[in-house]
Amino acid sequence: MFDDHHSPLPERLSDQGLLPGRGDFPAEGRLAVRDPATGGLVAQVAISDANGARAAVNAAQTAFPAWAAMLPQHRADILHRWHALIVGAKEDLARIMVAEQGKPISEARGEIDYAASFVQFYAEEALRPNIEGVTSHLPDAEMELWREPVGVAALVTPWNFPCAMITRKAAAALGAGCTVVIHPSAETPLSALALAVLAQRAGFPSGVVNTVIGDAATIVGEWTADARVRALSFTGSTEVGRLLYRQSADTVKRLVMELGGHAPFIVFPSADLDRAVAEAVKAKFATSGQDCLGANRFYIHRDVYDDFCTRFTAAVERLTLAPGMQDADLGPLVHDRQVAKQVAHVQDAVAHGARILTGGEVAADLGPLFFKPTVLADVTDEAAIMREETFGPVAALSPFDTEEEVVARANASEYGLIAYVHSQDPRRIYRVSRALQYGMVAVNRTKVTGAPIPFGGMKQSGLGREGARQGLEAFTEIKYVCRDWA
Ligand code: NAD
């Protein structure tokens, strides 16, 4: 099954059943999974068609009443077992992820920890009270609000965080008492299948967790049209999000949309520049730049602009690029469309007057999907990179003069996921944090996400929140009960 020469996967993974063997599924065809570092074949996965998608909803619908009625403590026990199994399989899951997604192995291990943290969080959250009292406005009446699971939830996820995007949705839905049908990206089906195997071992009853691999438009189209699917939680591009939003209208589904981002990274003159440079490197180059939280536009105050450009470029030139198992700072991009986007954004920015301070091209000696970490200076607002998601290792730097100007430029975007601000002036930090139209504002640091915080964006970066108590909302309905004992 594996091409041993190319693949970082040890044979024992298939012995442990974490990877699909031949004939595990009714084959309607096969999907080739390739290692982005080498182009080598990692595995062939059996795929389903519309019938498979419908069968998954049938199974989820049949399993729903018993799962919803199960004592929360028992649901929590199963989630805790899933968490322990994910943590126990961390190294194997990380290697599967490197093989199909390409990210450096340390980042893959970190993602497994992050993915597991959602399962643990929602195992605990499942135990919180799901009944609230209401102060009566009617004589003799007694009122309560009951939170109830909505039913079958469809979860559709991208390739950049192949495990965490699944657990962030699935743990919340399952903890709330929903059953789920999951469609992962065609680039990263193996991580999804491995999580499904671990879910089965954790003891989720048959039909509660269903993972379906196949043509996205066919599988997800079947689910958006199916009235039995009561919630759709999607993470991916704004373009596909809009399409699924429209498709969900006819059956009025509850929606969570975690869509694209175009994060501004703003450095004011009072900022600690060493820190701002170090955090800028993280904000741009983590996950090889393929991160919805990745900084796309760097607005640097003119007083510190030249200094920042010099220091940031020096830091970027120290970054290493190699296949994921060599654990460099960056790995390959996931597919050739990602490379084409980097090339197009660099060329367009240069045509609009930008200078390339470092990088700007494919590292051809490593392979066609390795793009050099790149810094562009003097990028003008007319360049496409200042509006469109680059989703890769290209940083666009531009100077600004006033707070008012930079807030207006930062907000002049259809996206509103996260904004980064560096300053040591508390009043400025407060004003700017208030003025930015973003779902998350990170001040003097880059890493701000985690299971206990509500993750999500404003404007066309999405709808709803994931993580935290708020992550349960799309998977639950409020039922108002008013009782009169007379
Ligand atoms: P994508 O929109 O192409 O695909 C996401 C998912 O949708 C995949 O499962 C894919 O199979 C499915 N899909 C694609 N076309 C479809 C169609 N016509 N009908 C139904 N389903 C379809 O996104 P991607 O390239 O996998 O991921 C990158 C995007 O995801 C970026 O825009 C990034 O910002 C976004 N993202 C957002 C977050 C967040 O939390 N906001 C997190 C990670 C990634």
So where are the chain's domains? 9-260+461-481, 263-412+418-450
Ligand 1 mean position, distance from CA 137 (Å)? 46
Q: Please name which of 242, 247, 257, 256 lies closest in space to residue 226, comparing C-alpha atoms.
A: 247
Q: Indicate if 263-412+418-450 has the same CATH topology as 9-260+461-481.
A: no
Q: State whether residue 168 is helix, strand or coil.
A: helix
- Quick: pLDDT tens for 18-29: 877 544 444 568
Ligand 1 mean position, distance from CA 280 (Å)? 25
Beginning with the edge strand found earlier in the chain, give each strand of the sheet holding 476-484 in spatial order.
131-134, 141-149, 476-484
pLDDT of residue 14: 62
Cβ–ligand 1 contact at 86 (below 6 Å): no
Q: Which residues in the chain come in under a pLDDT of 50?
A: 1-6, 22-26
Instruction: Give the DSSP letter of residue 271.
Output: S
Which of 31, 111, 157, 160 has most ligand 1 atoms within 8 Å of CB, for mutation?
A: 160
- Choose the CATH number for 263-412+418-450 among 3.10.20.30, 3.40.50.1820, 3.90.650.10, 3.40.309.10: 3.40.309.10
| CA-angle at 319, arms to 316 and 322, nearest 5° | 140
Amino acid at 245: Y
Cβ–ligand 1 contact at 481 (below 6 Å): no
| Calpha distance 179→415 (Å, rounded) | 31
Burial of 286-311, coded b for 16+ CB within 10 Å and e otherwise, reads: bbbbbbbbbbbbbbbbeebbeebbeb
Cβ–ligand 1 contact at 156 (below 6 Å): yes
| Calpha distance 101→287 (Å, rounded) | 10
CATH fold of the domain at 9-260+461-481 = Aldehyde Dehydrogenase; Chain A, domain 1 (3.40.605)
Cβ–ligand 1 contact at 43 (below 6 Å): no
- Quick: pLDDT tens for 288-312: 999 999 999 999 999 999 999 999 9
User: Crossing angle of helices 302-317/273-285, nearest 10°?
Assistant: 60
Tell me what ipTM this predicted complex has.
0.96
Ligand 1 mean position, distance from CA 338 (Å)? 13
Which atom of ligand 1 is least distant from the CA of 224? 20
* 200 Rama class: left (phi>0) / alpha (psi -120 to 50) / beta: alpha
For 182, phi then psi, to 5°, come to: -120, 130
Cβ–ligand 1 contact at 185 (below 6 Å): yes
For 309, phi then psi, to 5°, come to: -55, -45
Q: Please name which of 106, 97, 110, 115 lies closest in space to residue 37, comparing C-alpha atoms.
A: 97
Residue nearest to atom 28 of ligand 1 (CA): 236
Ligand 1 mean position, distance from CA 192 (Å)? 15
- Residue ranges of alpha helices (H) inside 286-332 are 302-317
Q: State whether residue 129 is helix, strand or coil.
A: coil
Kindly list the distances between the CA atom of residue 111 and the CA atoms of 115, 191, 351, in Å, as whole numbers in the listed order. 6, 12, 37
Residue nearest to atom 36 of ligand 1 (CA): 236
pLDDT of residue 218: 98
pTM > 0.90: yes
Kindly list the distances between the CA atom of residue 73 and the CA atoms of 180, 201, 264, in Å, as whole numbers in the listed order. 19, 18, 43
Cβ–ligand 1 contact at 334 (below 6 Å): no
Residue nearest to atom 4 of ligand 1 (CA): 236
Which residue is it, tokens 């175009």? 262
Cβ–ligand 1 contact at 31 (below 6 Å): no
Cβ–ligand 1 contact at 145 (below 6 Å): no
Active site residues: 258, 292
| Calpha distance 454→207 (Å, rounded) | 29
Structure tokens, 281: 């490197």
pLDDT of residue 134: 92
pLDDT of residue 1: 36
- Quick: pLDDT tens for 332-391: 999 999 999 999 999 999 999 999 999 999 999 999 999 999 999 999 999 999 999 999
